[in-house]
Amino acid sequence: FPGHESYITFCHLENEAAFTCSADHTIRKWDVLTGQCLAIYRGHTSIVNRILVAKDYLFSGSYDRTARCWSMDKEKQIQEFRGHRNCVLTLAHYSSRDVLEEEEEEEEEEERVSRDLLVTGSTDCTVKVWWVSSGRCYQTLLGHTGAVLCLILDAPNRELFSGSTDYTIRTWNIVTGEQLKVFKEHQGSVICLELVNRHLYSGSADRTVKCWLVDTGERIQTYKAHKHSVSTLKYHAGILFTGSGDACARAFNSRSGVLQKIFRGHKFIINCIQIHNELLYTASHDGTLRIWDIRGICKRNKRRLKKERSVQGRSSQKGSLSRLFNNKVGCMVQQENGE
């Protein structure tokens, strides 16, 4: 999908449309079937770092120190969130209905009607929570000593996770703003996060991805193979997909950590990965959005999981040979080309 006048920083898929943001200060909407550009959103005065689609709204964060809310249909700006002292790098969205009990809500009538909140992370080391309807800051979360690069929300559990250039991941109570836990094992900036079934995946400038148990803080897996920083993550069907500064996307067995496939074709860092209908979308600093067919790898992974469950079901005895050999399956040699 050529069209942006500079590199793409992020993409978001919504039904049959793709949204991309760019260093050219704009956001574009695309028809994923034809590649046609359907809309251009203009208003930011610097690089647009991140976009997020929620309900009928499009949210964006920029180096111009603002986040903005747009009407998707009219290409019109609805709200501006101004208060960060530096770049807005990452976004999350939730409704207070998801986290607050009725008696806890003491906000103005207008805000109670809307109840939508936007969360922003910035290079000013803070996380801010905003009422979407008014643009007013609801709370500021303090604790990081470096830029906040990524956010992920677990609304049912009232938890927010943030990754930073201070090498840490922090967990917050999204209602009270209290800091709950700090994850400290990375040796570089934490660039991206993914949360699946209370397993937290974190990609870092230390060239690794780590998997943590959210409830205990224990690290249970480390994924190694990247030749540069891990810039983006996406979990799908038991596979962990990563994008890296080495211009490659990779697919790992999420349980064993074994590398299953390398996707080559981009010329520069891959900033974003999305998956839709078993197609992998990768957006890059080279200005392109590429689409890959991952049906084969997903099918193989499903067969493997089914086989593993079958073997585990038959091997009920703790020290049985079948269980020992099943554990050996993950010791295969992995070639660089992913074969």
Alpha-carbon radius of gyration of the chain: 21
Domain-embedded: residue 162: no
Q: Which residue has the higher pLDDT, 89 or 298?
A: 89
For position 298, which CATH number holds? 2.40.10.480
pLDDT tens for each residue of 286-298? 878 899 999 988 8
Q: What is the mean pLDDT of residues 258-264?
A: 94
Task: For residue 223, report the phi and psi dihedrals to the nearest 5 degrees.
Answer: -105, 120
Poorest-pLDDT segment among 23-27, 29-33, 57-61, 206-210: 29-33
Whether residue 95 has pLDDT greater than 50: yes
CA distance 190 to 162: 9
Place of tokens 């409830």: 215
Torsion of CA 18, 163, 127, 42, to 10 degrees: -30
Three-state DSSP state, 155: helix
CA distance 50 to 27: 10
Q: CB neighbours of 202 closer than 8 A, spacing ≥ 6?
A: 163, 169, 183, 186, 190, 192, 193, 209, 210, 212, 233
Q: What is the mean pLDDT of residues 233-249?
A: 95
Q: What is the mean pLDDT of residues 107-131?
A: 80
CA distance 10 to 270: 9
Torsion of CA 55, 177, 143, 117, to 10 degrees: 20
Whether residue 331 has pLDDT greater than 90: no
CA distance 91 to 84: 13
**CA-CA-CA-CA torsion sign (289, 287, 269, 202):** negative
Most trustworthy range by pLDDT among 26-40, 92-106, 240-254: 240-254
**CA-CA-CA-CA torsion sign (144, 147, 149, 153):** positive
Torsion of CA 170, 200, 233, 125, to 10 degrees: 0
Domain-embedded: residue 316: no
Q: Which domain holds residue 256?
A: 211-307
pLDDT given at position 92: 95
Domain-embedded: residue 239: yes
Whether residue 220 has pLDDT greater than 90: yes
Whether residue 243 has pLDDT greater than 60: yes
Whether residue 320 has pLDDT greater than 50: no
Domain count, the chain: 1
Domain-embedded: residue 238: yes
Q: Which residue has the higher pLDDT, 301 or 160?
A: 160
Domain-embedded: residue 151: no
pLDDT given at position 96: 81
pLDDT given at position 330: 29
Helix (H) or strand (E) holding 193: strand 190-196
Q: Which residue has the higher pLDDT, 211 or 11?
A: 211
pLDDT tens for each residue of 60-80? 999 999 999 999 888 899 999
Q: CB neighbours of 132 closer than 8 A, spacing ≥ 6?
A: 57, 69, 79, 93, 114, 116, 117, 118
pLDDT tens for each residue of 157-204? 999 999 999 999 999 999 899 999 999 999 999 999 999 999 999 999
Q: What is the mean pLDDT of residues 125-143?
A: 95
pLDDT given at position 326: 33
Poorest-pLDDT segment among 206-220, 268-282, 309-323: 309-323
Share of the chain above pLDDT 70, in %: 85
pLDDT tens for each residue of 178-190? 999 999 999 999 9
Domain-embedded: residue 159: no
pLDDT given at position 309: 59
| Mean pLDDT score across all residues of the chain | 85
pLDDT given at position 99: 75
CA distance 68 to 201: 28
Domain-embedded: residue 247: yes
CA distances from 130 to 36, 83, 89, 210, 326 (A): 34, 10, 15, 30, 50
Domain-embedded: residue 86: no
Q: Which long-range contacts (CB under 8 A, 24 or more apart) does 123-126 make?
A: 123/86, 123/87, 123/89, 123/147, 123/148, 124/84, 124/85, 124/86, 125/164, 125/166, 126/84
Q: Which residue has the higher pLDDT, 242 or 55?
A: 242
Record the tokens describing residue 185, joined without a space.
Answer: 């094992």
